[in-house]
Amino acid sequence: YPPKPLAATDYLVVESTYGDRRHEEIDAEAAIADIINRTAKRGGIVLMPAFAVGRAQLVLHILQKLLAEKRIPTMPIYLNSPMAIRATEIFFDLHESHKLTKEDCERMDAITHYVKTVEESIELNSRKFPSVIISASGMASGGRVLHHLKTLISDPKNSVLFLGYQAAGTRGDSLTHGAEHIKIHGEYYPVKAEVANLQALSSHGDYVEISDWLKKMPGRPKKVFVTHGEASAADAMRRHLHDEFHWDVEVPEYLDIALL
């Protein structure tokens, strides 16, 4: 569902993660099915680094749908993140707020193996049959996903599917830009697994989507501050807003003080 229009405001802070590009027009369900099917035919494991709140639950919803429609083979699906498990329980308890039915939640729960203890997480790394592992963090910057990466990244049978924006300097950014080796816990591992990034699942609006949303806001802000984006994306967003709305737009620098 589209976001609700903003009320009139004097000072506006707007993000710019996709301030310089549009989202890819891609069928996310088909893309996930393709990589799972390719990997399963190789006898490999699909690792999905996922943000624990929101993204992990979304991909579980997609996976149960793909399984029900027989678009992917039956295989174990593991959720290995204490925070993601707790968030999933909240999603199930408050499913109406997330546009999920009780039946949706029951189907998601039925396909998911919850990996709760450290011992279970370690044991999971010893399994070699086709499966899907969803683990945090979403940019592979920390958490249990690193132990799975160490086990899986150097085997060409496996796949690593990122599920959204990867910030500069993260392992996710390095891997999705073709790194041949990745450093984890002080050691380098050769990257032989298939690596992909499904940016179509990103929760960040691109610059056109944000502009269309802001058109519905009444009035004119006194000042707009552009944040949360790489330098080039933030400056591109600043120019888009200035050219389209003729607003006073600024990209703040570190330790800048705004005199309002």
Which range is least confidently modeled, 36-50, 58-72, 91-105? 91-105
In a domain, 237, yes or no: yes
| Residue 156: per-residue pLDDT | 97
Torsions phi, psi of 17, nearest 5?
Answer: -55, -45
Q: Is 113 in a helix, a strand, or coil?
A: strand
Locate all alpha helices (DSSP H) within the chain, ordered by sequence: 28-42, 55-68, 82-93, 102-111, 118-124, 145-152, 171-176, 207-214, 231-245
The verdict on pTM exceeding 0.85 is no
What is the span of the domain harbouring residue 129? 28-201
Last residue of a domain, one of 201, 227, 242: 201
Q: How confident is the model at residue 1 (pLDDT cuts 50, 70, 90)?
A: low
User: How many domains is the chain partitioned into structurally?
Assistant: 2
Average the pLDDT over 225-229 and give the result: 92
Q: Higher-confidence residue: 230 or 45?
A: 45
| Residue 199: per-residue pLDDT | 75
Residue 39 has pLDDT above 90, yes or no: yes
- Looking at the structure, do residues 224 and 190 belong to the same domain, yes or no? no
Residue 163 has pLDDT above 80, yes or no: yes
Q: Cα(4)–Cα(10) distance, rounded to whole angstroms?
A: 18
Q: Which of 184, 193, 256, 252 is nearest to 12 (CA)?
A: 252
Residue 218 has pLDDT above 90, yes or no: yes
- Looking at the structure, do residues 114 and 226 belong to the same domain, yes or no? no
- Looking at the structure, do residues 17 and 49 belong to the same domain, yes or no? no
In a domain, 92, yes or no: yes
- Looking at the structure, do residues 130 and 219 belong to the same domain, yes or no? no
- Looking at the structure, do residues 80 and 34 belong to the same domain, yes or no? yes
* CA angle in degrees (0–180, nearest 5) for 27-72-79: 90
- Looking at the structure, do residues 37 and 160 belong to the same domain, yes or no? yes
Give the count of beta carbons closer than 10 Å to the beta carbon of residue 159: 23
- Looking at the structure, do residues 80 and 17 belong to the same domain, yes or no? no
In a domain, 93, yes or no: yes
In a domain, 216, yes or no: yes
- Looking at the structure, do residues 93 and 124 belong to the same domain, yes or no? yes
Average the pLDDT over 82-99 and give the result: 92
Which range is least confidently modeled, 125-129, 209-213, 254-258? 254-258
In a domain, 3, yes or no: no
Residue 259 has pLDDT above 80, yes or no: no
- Looking at the structure, do residues 210 and 186 belong to the same domain, yes or no? no
- Looking at the structure, do residues 16 and 133 belong to the same domain, yes or no? no
- Looking at the structure, do residues 195 and 209 belong to the same domain, yes or no? no
Mean pLDDT computed over every residue of the chain: 92
Average the pLDDT over 81-96 and give the result: 94
**Percentage with pLDDT > 70 across the chain:** 99
- Looking at the structure, do residues 176 and 211 belong to the same domain, yes or no? no
In a domain, 2, yes or no: no
